Every structure is written in structure tokens, then in C-alpha cells.
Amino acid sequence: MHTLDPTLDIVFKLLFGGPKSSDILIALLGAVLQPQSPITEVSILNPAVPKQTTEEKDIVLDLLVRLQDGTLVNIEMQAENRPGFRSRALYYWARVYADQLHRGEDYEKLKPVVMIVFTGYRENITRRLHAVFHVLEIHEHVRFQQGFELHLIELPRIKEPQAMATARAAMRRWARFLGANTDEERESVAKEDPMVQQAQKILMEISSDEDVQKLLRERDVARKFLEMDLVLATERAEAKGWKRGRKKGREEGRKEGRKEGRKEGRQQGREEGRREAIMQLLSLRGIELTPADHSALMACNHMETLDKLLQRALTLPPDESLFDGIDVQSKP
């Protein structure tokens, strides 16, 4: 039987957040966090897969866990490269951190929040398989506070000997298991580690579950329909902008009497078409820009930046800014 890909976010959450998953979750957390004292107990705070999973292409299926000392750990699998990852990671950390307190409560009650993100692509912040980030003083490298920690595990780096050499053995095994391209590769890793072997067994059970297969099919169909709608909306918006650009170019060309006027008008039309495409994509996805983001978009006239914004509009989470992680440029 062919097993499901554990880098699919639904599969990943079911694998490590299921009723039989406590032991392998503790093993995975131990491999990533390397705590001074062994992790003996975990509480999963969001075990359920949301009902809207099949309807929303870009919903984040994270796993929020509390350790025995109160530390909160947010674990996420992100298979596809999406714009704004670094800003989004900080935002999610901040949200989990802030949600610990109610109005009037003492800040001393705040527990550390750790983000663990597995990616199916190279983020290229470092060349390590497993990178760890803290808030440090830039000269003496002293940690400002223990509350922030982010672990980034880039699964494609399992093919890079130098990157693998920087990680501990347990971390390498889990990365090889999650990043394997074939069942045979996963089975090979499972023979090296009893916890990975248990994870492989649970993965096979998930893979044979007809309800899970149906959930994945429904989400895949929803994704394809959404992508088709987005492509059509983009084509219509850009065609509309191009038509306006040609008209504007002819008018400016007649007025100025030279080719530069027509060329400038066509360029402005392309920019206008790209902005309109972005607005239509967001409207189709039910996302409304803030007044500040709308003004910034209307003022943007740099095609490369507009292209980046168009890509981000495809997967923009409803609670984030369109411009997060994007360097806004203007024409020289």
C-alpha cells in the first residue's frame, strides 16, 4: 500500500496530533528541542482538523502543544514556498505569546513560546538542516529573553551531506523520514529508530483511512477549482487593464506626437491591469484590504513588486498584510 506524504499538512497533523501519537510527538520534540530535561508529558491544545479545511486552500494546520513546564510549542509543516514566510512566522509566534494573558494579568505568567517549522523547500536563511533562532544582543550574543525561539528544518537539505552533518542523529532521522520521496526510503529510516518505526505504522493507518483519503481528495478538488478561478480572474483583469493601457497610449501618443507617449501609456495600462488583478483575486477569496494597504497598492508602479504582490495575493491569509515580507519599490 502506498503511504500518504507526511509533508501534506493534514497528514502531518493527523500523524503527530492523533490519539495514538503522544510517544512519537514527544520523540520528535526531543529531537528538535534537545531539552536539558527529557520531555515526559505533552498536551495538544488543538487536535482537531478544522471543518473548513476542504474549503480554504491556505488554512494553516498547525499543532499547538504545551509541555510539562508550561512552554508552548507551535509545530507547522509548510510544504510550499509562500511569500511572507518570515513575517508570518513572527506573527504566529506573537499571537500565541499574547493569547496566554487576559486583561490585567501579570506579565510574569507568560511562558516561552517555541515555533517549529518544517519546510518542503529551502528558505535559504542558513545552509543548515536545522537552524535555531533567538533574540540576541548583536555584539555579545546574549539572549534578550527566553520567551522566543524558532526552529527551522528545511527538509530538502537531507540531500546535502554538509547540512546533514550539522544536525544531531535523531534530528537527521526524523528529517529523512518526513522528507523521503518513496515508501522504501521511509521504511529504511524506520528500521534505525523505534519511534520512527512507530510513526511509520501510524502513517500507514492514516493512509488506509477512507475518511482521510476523502478529506484529501475534497481539499485537492477545492484547491484546483480555486486556482482555476484565480487564473481566470487574473486574465480578465489584466486584459481589462491592457485595453485601457492601449487606449491611454493612443491618446497620449496623439497628444504628444511621439512613440514615447504610446509606450508610457501601455506600461501604465499593464501596471493598472496588475493592480486590478490583485484586487479581483483578493475579492474572490473574500479578503478586504486595509485602507493603508489599498493606498499602498494603488501607489505602487513597479512591475516586479506588483508581480510579487500578485503571487502573495494567491495565498494571503485573511489576517495578514498584503505587503508583509515584500520590499516595495517604485520606478527609478
99-152, pLDDT tens digit by residue? Answer: 999 878 899 999 999 999 999 999 989 999 999 999 999 999 999 988 999 999
> Can you give the pLDDT at residue 47?
81
Residues 95 and 142 in one domain: yes
Identify whether residues 129 and 184 lie together within a single domain: yes
pLDDT of residue 329: 58
More confident residue, 35 or 315: 35
Whether residue 37 is contained in a domain is answered as yes
- Please report whether residue 65 resides in a domain: yes
Listed in sequence order, the residues at least 6 apart from 314 whose beta carbon sits closer than 8 Å to its beta carbon are 230, 281
Q: Per-residue pLDDT averaged across 189-203, rounded?
A: 97
Q: Does residue 155 lie in a domain region?
A: yes
pLDDT category of residue 257 using cuts at 50, 70 and 90 = low
More confident residue, 158 or 277: 158
Q: What is the mean pLDDT of the chain?
A: 84
Number of domains composing the chain = 2
Mean pLDDT of 203-213: 91
Residue 36 has pLDDT above 70, yes or no: yes
Domain of 263 in residue numbering reads as 216-315
Q: Is there a contact between 6 and 24 (Cβ–Cβ < 8 Å)?
A: no
Give every strand in the sheet of 63-67, ordered side by side. Answer: 42-44, 63-67, 72-78, 113-119, 148-154, 130-133
56 pLDDT exceeds 60? no
Its pTM stands at 0.71
Q: Which residue from 61, 2, 1, 75 is spatially nearest to 33, judged by alpha carbons?
A: 75
- Could you please report the per-residue DSSP string of 266-324? HHHHHHHHHHHHHHHHHHHTT----HHHHHHHHH---HHHHHHHHHHHHH--TTS-TTT
188/91 same-domain check: yes
| Predicted confidence (pLDDT) at residue 332 exceeds the cutoff of 50 | no
- For residue 277, pLDDT beyond 60: yes
In sequence order, the 6+-apart residues with CB closer than 8 A to the CB of 220 are none
**169 and 39 in a common domain:** yes
Q: Tell me the average pLDDT across 194-219.
A: 91
pLDDT of residue 86 exceeding 50: yes
Give the best-scoring range by mean pLDDT among 70-84, 156-170, 281-295.
156-170
Judge whether 194 lies within some domain.
yes
Q: Among residues 76, 180, 170, 179, which one has the least CA distance to residue 120?
A: 179
Q: How many CA atoms does the CB half-sphere of 205 hold within 13 Å?
A: 13
Residue 63: per-residue pLDDT: 93
Question: Residue 314: pLDDT above 50?
Answer: yes
Same domain, 142 and 52: yes
330 falls within a domain: no
Same domain, 177 and 194: yes
> Is 69 in contact with 79 (CB distance < 8 Å)?
no
> What pLDDT does residue 318 have?
75
Q: What percent of the chain has pLDDT over 70?
A: 80
Q: Are 106 and 174 in a shared domain?
A: yes
Residue 21 is predicted with a pLDDT of 94
Mean pLDDT to the nearest integer, 192-203:
97
Average pLDDT over residues 195-218: 91
Same domain, 76 and 36: yes
For residues 83 and 198, state if they share a domain: yes
Give the model's pLDDT for residue 253: 57
Cβ atoms 116, 153 nearer than 8 A: yes
Q: Could you say which of 147, 181, 208 is where a domain stops?
A: 208
Residue 145 and residue 40 share a domain: yes
Quick check: helix, strand or coil at residue 153?
strand
Residues 96 and 164 in one domain: yes
The whole-number average pLDDT for the span 87-92 is 89
Strand 148-154 to 63-67 pairing: unpaired
Average the pLDDT over 246-265 and give the result: 57
| Within-domain flag for 331 | no
